[in-house]
Amino acid sequence: MRNILLICKKELKSYFASPIAYLLMAFFGLIFGFGFFTATRDFVRFSFQSQMMGQQQPMNVNDQIIRPLLGFASTIALFLVPMISMRLIAEEKRTGTIELLLTSPIKDIEIILGKWLGAVLLFTCVLGMSMLNVAMLFAWGKPDLKPVLVAYLGLILQGACLLAIGTFISTTTRNQIVAGGVTFFVCLLLWLLSWFTAFDSGPASQVVNYISIVTHFENFSKGVLNLKDVVFYLSMIFFSLFITSRAMESVRWRS
Amino acid sequence: MEPNLSSRLTKIMIKVEGLSKRYARNVAVDDISFEVNKGQIVGFLGPNGAGKTTTMRILTCFMPPSAGKATVAGFDVMEQPFEVKKRIGYLPEVPPLYPEMEVGEYLHFVGKLKGIPKGDLAKRVKEVSEKVNVAEVSNKLIGKLSKGFRQRVGLAQAIIHNPDVLILDEPTAGLDPKQILETRQLIRSLAGDHTIILSTHILSEVEHSCERVIIISQGKLVAQDSVANLTNRLRGAESVSLEVEAADGRPNPTEVQGRLEQVAGVSRVMMKDSKDGRLTFEVESLQGRHIRAELARSVVNSGWNLSELRAVGLSLEDIFLQLTTAETKEVGGQK
């Protein structure tokens, strides 16, 4: 445990020592802020209109601003994840520092968990930028807190899951760009899988639907905490980190 | 560790038996066996690509061997890698440094990684920084350091947990002559407390810092001896090649050999060749004796013709080349 935290701390430090952490936070904050601005403006305009026309349609901040916005954030996460995970192990392999880690009295799985945890924490920090905007809604409106928390949990779980896959891909190469590119394609593919099942409900598409990472986020974004989805994410994380540790072993055998 | 085991192990620190490492298409290390005693500095010598780094990586538990056994301080690298790793300090060819860290921060990180207790950490970092002379740059980013300083930080990283065994892969590669001298001094000062294996393809390096040499070439061990023995064998003694012709065209090999052996200062006479009535001998002298003049006189006085007399090259370089090229040719021929 001590070793995991040690590696995790080192990872976080090197993220924040390089521009990458600040860049991602600024980038995400800007895009999310833009989405927030548009969504809120439209919401306000729409609620004015409906009042003027005397309609008493219920307006809901949760449903009409937060939910689509966090869904949007889950899509942006697909772009963030490769940028965070690509360097994790590929860089250590390229610079040779992997030799230090692998010849120290520390287990492979501790290295992997530490690195993955560092990446998840950075992802959470980046995601945290969106809270600036969401906090405004709480300051001037009365949204429900619980569904927001559930949605954030979903975002973090989804990110952690994709990051675990990214960690695995980063282990297989010494080239960061390759690691990042492949991770991006895999993320994209897992996202596209949900399209496949949009108008079909045969057994094959049910399986595909289950594998798609994004479909599991939908429940979270509605504020529904479903055990099935949590189990899906956790088992994906476990599986990815497990094959990462296998890949690490092959690094030892082959390099 | 039980006492009788530890006492049995006090002498031999590293033991390698029949070690091999095969990749899909080539063999990096082929059936190497050697032992290193406690407190020794051993030079691991070989041309580039001979398998030095691979052997070191196996010893440091970075990679497992394909066959054979290696133990460090009595612990098997396959069975108890944790115990081995705790006792080994390793400086790879490229020092494993994080450019975005400060020197002090990096040494703290490595110290924790190697399992130094929190209370001792600051003290150890300070000691080690002073030992390798990096205390003055401890607040600098590693990425901004010069090559010499990086190498020293790499060395600090290897000795921070005070390991029994130090494995240094080409510790002076790429340094300038002054830095090379400093590094050698540093390595020598570490001997005694630590058992050191250092690899190099530069011979003078071995002469300067090591007590024993292990020469490998193309994955095979071709020689191991103490540096003193090797240099004596190779440099102190003289080896002469001479060609003798009999006046009647039919020299008697045993007679010539006998006569040569009687020359003062000769330690060994070997007949190499006999062709068209010409006999070729290789004669080795005793330590520090010059025998060429005596040999010539003896041959001529016996009524034979001396058609050639030359000193065979005897520098460490020559022997090294001989060992690393001729031997492999021989092996290839046997197959």
What CATH number is associated with residue B158? 3.40.50.300
On whether residue B319 sits in a domain, the answer given is: no
- B258 with B301, same domain: the answer is yes
User: From start to end of B232-302, where are the E strands?
Assistant: 239-246, 266-275, 278-285
State the CB neighbour count (10 A cutoff) for residue B29: 27
Q: Is B192 on the interface with A (CB under 8 A)?
A: no
On whether residue B31 sits in a domain, the answer given is: yes
At residue B335, does pLDDT exceed 60?
no
User: Which positions in chain A touch B64 (Cβ < 8 Å)?
Assistant: 252-253
- B224 with B253, same domain: the answer is no
> Given A13, A18, A104, which is nearest B114 (Cβ)?
A104
Pairing of β B239-246 and β B304-311 = antiparallel
| pLDDT band (50, 70, 90) for residue B85 | very high
Q: Which tokens go with A113?
A: 């968990």
- B279 with B151, same domain: the answer is no
Q: Which of B3, B77, B54 is nearest to B221 (CA)?
A: B54
Residues in chain A: 255
Flag if B96 and A100 touch (Cβ within 8 Å).
yes
User: Which positions in chain B touch A96 (Cβ < 8 Å)?
Assistant: 92-96
- B48 with B85, same domain: the answer is yes
At residue B9, does pLDDT exceed 80?
no
On whether residue B233 sits in a domain, the answer given is: no
- Give the CA radius of gyration of chain B: 25
Phi and psi torsions of B243, nearest 5°: -120, 125
Q: Which of B50, B81, B89 is nearest to B63 (CA)?
A: B81
Q: Is B293 on the interface with A (CB under 8 A)?
A: no
Domain count, chain B: 2
pLDDT at site B191: 80
- B127 with B276, same domain: the answer is no
B307 sits in which H/E element? strand B304-311
At residue B307, does pLDDT exceed 90?
no
On whether residue B323 sits in a domain, the answer given is: no
Residues of chain B above pLDDT 70, percent: 85
Flag if A106 and B113 touch (Cβ within 8 Å).
yes
**Residue A236, min C-alpha distance to chain B (Å):** 29
At residue B206, does pLDDT exceed 90?
no
State the CB neighbour count (10 A cutoff) for residue A196: 14
pLDDT at site A140: 83
On whether residue B322 sits in a domain, the answer given is: no
**Residue A100, min C-alpha distance to chain B (Å):** 6
B160: closest chain A residue by CA: A104
- B222 with B245, same domain: the answer is no
User: Which positions in chain B touch A15 (Cβ < 8 Å)?
Assistant: none
Give ∠ CA B261-B262-B266 in degrees, rounded to 5: 55
Residues 6+ apart with CB under 8 A from B193: B39, B162
More confident of the two residues A241 and B24:
A241
Q: Which of A10, A102, A104 to mutate to test binding with chain B, by most B CBs within 10 Å of its CB?
A: A104
pLDDT at site B176: 83
Flag if A104 and B85 touch (Cβ within 8 Å).
yes
The CATH number of residue B269's host domain is: 3.30.70.3190
What integer is the mean pLDDT of B203-227?
81
Contact B241, B272 (CB under 8 A): yes
At residue B329, does pLDDT exceed 60?
no
User: Which positions in chain B touch A103 (Cβ < 8 Å)?
Assistant: 60-62, 85, 88, 90
Contact A15, A118 (CB under 8 A): yes
Q: Is B61 on the interface with A (CB under 8 A)?
A: yes
- B58 with B176, same domain: the answer is yes
Residues in chain B: 335
State the CB neighbour count (10 A cutoff) for residue B83: 18
> For residue range B155-180, what is the model confidence (pLDDT) as tens digits?
999 999 999 999 999 888 778 888 88
At residue B231, does pLDDT exceed 70?
no
- B183 with B256, same domain: the answer is no
Q: Three-state DSSP class for A57?
A: coil
On whether residue B305 sits in a domain, the answer given is: yes
Tell me how far apart the alpha carbons of residues B216 and B200 are, in angstroms, rounded to a whole number.
11
Residue A242, CA distances (Å) to A79, B165, B219 in order: 24, 33, 34
pLDDT at site B3: 46
- B195 with B306, same domain: the answer is no
pLDDT-wise least confident of A189-193, B140-144, B329-333: B329-333
At residue B299, does pLDDT exceed 70?
yes
pLDDT-wise least confident of B56-70, B170-184, B231-245: B231-245
On whether residue B325 sits in a domain, the answer given is: no
A18: closest chain B residue by CA: B100
Q: Which of A12, A103, A106 to mutate to test binding with chain B, by most B CBs within 10 Å of its CB?
A: A103
| pLDDT band (50, 70, 90) for residue B210 | confident
User: Which positions in chain A touch B82 (Cβ < 8 Å)?
Assistant: 105
- B198, B228, B258 - which closes a domain: B228
Flag if A99 and B100 touch (Cβ within 8 Å).
no
What integer is the mean pLDDT of B299-326?
70
What integer is the mean pLDDT of B24-42?
88
pLDDT at site B116: 92
- B168 with B70, same domain: the answer is yes
Low-confidence ranges of chain A (pLDDT < 50): none
- B35 with B179, same domain: the answer is yes
On whether residue B320 sits in a domain, the answer given is: no
Residue A254, CA distances (Å) to A57, A101, A251, B293 in order: 65, 16, 5, 58
Tell me how far apart the alpha carbons of residues B53 and B65 are, in angstroms, rounded to a whole number.
13
> Given B97, B109, B157, which is nearest A10 (Cβ)?
B109
What integer is the mean pLDDT of B78-106?
92
Domain boundaries, chain A: 2-254
Phi and psi torsions of A43, nearest 5°: -60, -45
**Residue B159, min C-alpha distance to chain A (Å):** 12
pLDDT at site B89: 93
At residue B45, does pLDDT exceed 70?
yes
DSSP A84-130: HHTTTTHHHHHHSTHHHHHTSSS-HHHHHHHHHHHHHHHHHHHHHHH
Mean pLDDT of the residues in chain B: 82
Domain region containing B13: 3-228
Cα dihedral: A25, A27, A33, A35 (round 10): -130
Phi and psi torsions of B302, nearest 5°: -80, 0
Q: Which tokens go with A43?
A: 């919401």
- B134 with B270, same domain: the answer is no
Note the ipTM here: 0.88
Contact B103, B137 (CB under 8 A): yes
Residues of chain B above pLDDT 90, percent: 30
